[in-house]
Amino acid sequence: MTRIAVLDYGIGNLRSAQKAFEKVGAEAELTRDPERVLSADGVVLPGVGNFGNCAKALLETGVGELSRQVVSLGIPFLGICVGMQLLFESSEESPEVSGLGILSGHVKLIPGIVKLPQMQWNSIKIEKISPLLKGLDDKWFYFVHSYALEEGSTDDVITGVCEYGGRVVAAVQKDSVFATQFHPEKSSEAGRILLSNFLTYCEGSK
C-alpha cells in the first residue's frame, strides 16, 4: 500500500486530505515526524486561510524546512490550495512573510471585477501534460481562494488554468513537485481521479 504523509503544521482541516487519500486506497497519516515524512512514498501539504499565518506555522513547526528536504530528495510532493501558494516566494496577501521558495514566482490578488473569493466549482483546462492531471481536461473542481499565482516568469511550471474574470492558474508541476489551487479532496469524482493519479506517480517513483 502506498504511504502518504500529510504534513501536520496545525492549521486548517488537515484530516480532510488524509481521509481523501484513504478513500482512494492509500495508507495516509497526519505527521510532522521527520523519519515518518522522509520515508513516505509521497508527501502532501494542505492549506487554508491566510498565507501569512500558514507560513509562520510552517516555520514554527519545522514543517517548512522538512518540506524542502522532501523536495531535495525527489519524494513526490503535492501542495493543495494555500499549500500550493506556500511553495512560491511570496504572496501579496502577507508581504511581511516569505513562502518556501521551492518554486519561483509570486502570488497576487485575482485581478478584474470578480467576486472574491472564488468560491465555486470551475472547470480546468490543461496547458501542459502532467501525470497529476491525466484524464481531467475540462473536469470540474472546487475552488475557494482570492489569491493565485501571478503568470509571467513562472509559465514553465503551469499545467492547468481556469477562467474567472480571466485566466487563473489552477495547477503547477516542476519535476516531482505538484500543486493545485483547487481542493481535490472536496471535488467528488474528479478529485478522486487526481488523488489516484498522484498515488500512481508515487508508486512509479519508488
Sign (positive or negative) of CA dihedral 10, 142, 125, 206: positive
Beta-bridge mates of residue 40 = none
Residue 183 designated active-site: yes
Residue 89 designated active-site: no
Which one from 127, 162, 183, 202 is the annotated catalytic residue? 183
Q: Are 41 and 73 in contact (CB under 8 A)?
A: no
Which one from 127, 162, 185, 202 is the annotated catalytic residue? 185
Residue 202 designated active-site: no
Which one from 54, 81, 162, 202 is the annotated catalytic residue? 81
Return the active site residues. 81, 183, 185
